[in-house]
Chain A
Amino acid sequence: MTSADAVALVLVLAIAAYACGGGIDYGAGFWDLTAGGDDRGARPRTLVDYAMAPVWEANNVWLVFVFILTWTGFPTVFESVLSTAWLAAILAGLGLVLRGAGFALRKPTRQRIRRRRYTAVFGVASILAPFFFAAVLGGVASGRIPVGNRAGDPVTSWLNPTSVLFGALAVTASAFLAAVFLVSDARRYGAPDLEAYFRRRTVLAAGALVVVAAVGLIVFRFDARYLFDGLFSGWGLAFLLLAVAATAGTVWLVRRGNHLGTRLAAIAAVASMVLAWGMAQRPYALPTTLTIQAAAGDPDTLRWLLIVTGIAVILVGPALALLYRLDLTDRLAADHDIDLTAAHAAPEAPMTPSALVDAVDDRRSSGPQVASPPRDAKRS
């Protein structure tokens, strides 16, 4: 494996990480949007509010990392893709920013009409971002990005059968991942009805994912032949089969109520899909005009990029493990933003039924009538 291949692999893994990390956030927005009217959708939306904290915007760091790896490792690819598929990139970026803004604005808002407006922004943006980011990758996979500064078609490079299918896959996969994670969040929250609610949606999303993927394979057969052939041979096929198996496994595990297993299986399913695409378009960075070798940047830079990545994994790995360990052993408690919501709700409080657990927290951090973080409720 050359250093260019190694950097390409790190790049695909980073895209997979964003598909999973970002996907969970985007998918939560999807379920939020489709939760129904004010009354019917109130409980699922409260769960989404609870499950998401501003800190998770940090998942976007994966995306930044994808950009950096691309422009450092494969500068011409970065130049060609973003200058040609600029419209899709702008729409995706807009979705990313609006999603964050819509969510941040909605969380402390209790006024019905404004809340509804922010919900719509948050939900629609959560679909825009994964759709358009994936559509750009669809343009790459189907060979519609020529080398150069705005050398390709600014519309058909991302508005074509393969891109639409990539976009649909990304939105479905996000919804699937988010449903899985919301099942676990609902259990933590102590809301068995929401647990069942998102369990049903997990199965539904898994079914949709299989259907979209099947349609996708037919479309690729005619629109992205190189990708199609790659998906049915070697590593491409291996990861495709793994994705199918992991999706089936997710459904099986969620029905058995194995939460950790379900989450791992769902992540394996989505990551395998991304890896299958990456493996299928080897050895090309831009099929079928620019190979990974030809696109690669300076060898010294690539070597350093791998060293930096190695050091980072050594540093980030333990930190991430610590975060998960503290979280799983219930030593982390999200009180600040819930306090914030309650702060605004307390004087007006027109929409209190959405608060699932009402308990008075330790008085230092919260006032009267505060919905305490559910994990506290479990402790007491």
Chain B
Amino acid sequence: MSGSAYQILAESQVLPAREQMAFTLMVHVILVPLGVALPFITLLMNYLGLRRNDAVAFQLARRWSTVMAIQFAIGVVTGTVISLEFGLLWPGLMGRWGDVFGTGFGIEAWAFFLEAILISIYLYGWKRLSPRTHFLLGLPIPLTSLLGAFGILSANAWMNTPQGFTLDSAGNPTAVTVEKVLFNPIFGPQYWHFIAAAYMTAGFLVASVYAVGWLRGRRDRYHRLGFLVPFTVAAIVTPVQMALGDGLARSVFREQPAKFATIEIVWTTGPNQAEYLYGRLQPDGTVDGGIKIPGLDSFLAGFSRNTVVQGLSGVPAENRPTATEATIAHWAFDTMVGIATVLLLLALWYGLAWLRRRDLPRSRWFYRCAALAGIASVVAVESGWITAEVGRQPWIVWEQMKVAEAVTNISAGPIWASFAVLVIVYALIAWAFIGLLLRMRLRWRGQDAQLAREETAEPEEPVRAEAAP
């Protein structure tokens, strides 16, 4: 095979490999926020149940723990697929850099295992353990999920700001310093941004279920509490997240100026850069459409219109993303920030109502927005992930290895085929998961209705009577 033909072949498998990886990660990233933050929200509800001896809170915590376990199981499966794909799609990455940035994954695997054990105990401990012991045994779960996220985020951050190794004469990494690898420059900002995103998403997502219930007229204590606790968590985290996200963007500006230029579609290096809301970057560097706000980009990057922002044209063409890739990253970024801003307003609305009347807002519009907030925050997480990954192109390890160098030598055909099979199988799993959740909802509703009938006949547990729809 001639050199050029081989080149074309190698290029051709980059596309299916990227698409397959993107698809798998996009599915996984929906489950991750729930895995990281749902245990905390569940335990919080459990705590309220314990403190006030509140049967409704216990009931909610117990039901959430079931959802937690099922989504955890599915997360294990999709996570296993991802680790398999590291070898199937990106053997070049793992063969060369595996021992440099692998330690984080090692930490994550053990943390995950610990989490699995503790979740099993928590899930199966509701009936026989004393409520206090049961709660205390569940308490470490949020910590294990923070530890697991630490491992993965550290590895991902390292791909953005790689350090902690030297290259030998053959260009291979040696002399690894694991502490430097784990705590690389962008790790901190990326980690806290992600954790906050997980708490926001899980909070808004769980609350949205009860917001829908409220809109449909189920306005009992069960729905009120089910809405209040996760929504409060999300509402507290949202303003913090705005600050964290802003900090991360400025870290990217300092550590990866070309990535910042990609996200903000800045073409020519210089001060007084305009901020574009959406808009499409053209290959010649002009921006088509979008809303232009003069000087804002420079101001956001360095709190002054005089801040010099590097432009994409300063980077050699083969080392920067294509105009289309830059546009994708830019749109994803703007979508994420846009959604977060709307969610912040929603959180403020809630906060003001609480300050003024010590109660939830009364407007139906509040609940309509809250019902959409769950899906919206998932879209924001996906957008953030697209920003991070597409913004890094064409590098898989920033300025060290390109995606095309990391890809497998398996030809494109089989990768497209395996991608197709994966889509079908994942659709099947999604269908099963959603079906299971809907069935549980039906069953729980039936249970509550039955309980309500029993209790009107024989009021032995007054607090539970309010739980009935």
The smallest C-beta distance from A201 to any residue of chain B, in angstroms, reads 27
Option from A301, A305, A332, A362 in Cβ contact (under 8 Å) with B125: A332
Residues of A within 8 A of B125 (CB): 326, 331-332
Q: Contacts of A104 on B, CB cut-off 8 Å?
A: 73, 429, 432-433, 436
- Interchain nearest-CB distance for A46 vs B (Å): 19
Across-interface contacts of A73 in B (CB, < 8 A): 99, 102
The smallest beta-carbon distance between A226 and chain B, in angstroms, is 24
Q: Are A54 and B69 in contact (CB under 8 A)?
A: yes
Beta-carbon contact of A60 and B80 below 8 Å: yes
Please, which residues of chain B bring their CB within 8 A of the CB of A301? Answer: 99-100, 102-103, 176, 178
Q: Is B442 part of the binding interface, using a Cβ–Cβ cutoff of 8 Å?
A: yes
Interface residues of B, CB < 8 Å — how many?
A: 81
Partner of B126, one of A72, A83, A89, A335: A335
Alpha-carbon separation in the docked complex, A152 to B109 (Å) = 30
Give the residue name and chain of the A residue nearest to B430 (CB): A101
Minimum CB–CB distance for A146 against chain B, Å = 13
In Å, the complex CA distance between A78 and B87 comes to 6
Q: Which one of B201-209, B230-238, B239-247, B443-451 contacts A?
A: B443-451
Contact of B97 among A68, A75, A83, A336 (CB under 8 A): A75
Query: Is A222 in contact with chain B by the CB < 8 A criterion?
Result: no
Interface pair B129/A83, CB less than 8 Å apart: no
In the bound complex, CA of A67 to CA of B86 (Å)? 9
When the two chains form their complex, are residues A97 and B425 in contact, meaning their CB atoms are under 8 A apart?
Answer: yes
Contacts of B410 in A (CB 8 A): 83, 86, 150, 154
Contact with A along B108-139 (1 / 0, CB 8 A): 11101110111111011111110000000100
With an 8 A cutoff between CB atoms, is B225 at the interface? no
Binds A, one of B88-96, B188-196, B268-276, B375-383: B88-96
Tell whether, in the assembled complex, residue B117 and residue A323 are in contact, meaning their CB atoms are under 8 Å apart: yes
* Contact between B88 and A64, CB atoms less than 8 A apart: no
Chain A neighbourhood of B257, CB < 8 A: none
The residue of chain A having its C-beta at the shortest distance from the C-beta of B67 within the complex is A336
B127: contacting residue among A86, A315, A335, CB under 8 A: A335
Does any Cβ of A come within 8 Å of B98's Cβ?
yes
Inter-chain contacts of B69 with A (CB < 8 A): 54-55, 336
Query: Which residues from 73 to 112 on chain A have a C-beta closer than 8 Å to any C-beta of chain B?
Result: 73, 75-76, 78-83, 86-87, 89-90, 93-94, 96-98, 100-101, 104-105, 108
Residues in B lying within 8 Å of A, measured CB to CB: 59, 62, 66, 69-70, 72-74, 76-77, 79-81, 83-84, 86-88, 91-92, 94-100, 102-103, 105-110, 112-114, 116-121, 123-129, 137, 165, 173-178, 408-410, 414, 418, 421, 425, 428-429, 432-433, 435-436, 439-440, 442-443, 446-447, 450-451, 454
Q: A82-B84, A93-B80 are in contact. List 9 more A-B contacts (CB 8 A).
A: A64-B112, A82-B87, A89-B88, A96-B77, A104-B73, A297-B99, A311-B110, A316-B117, A322-B121
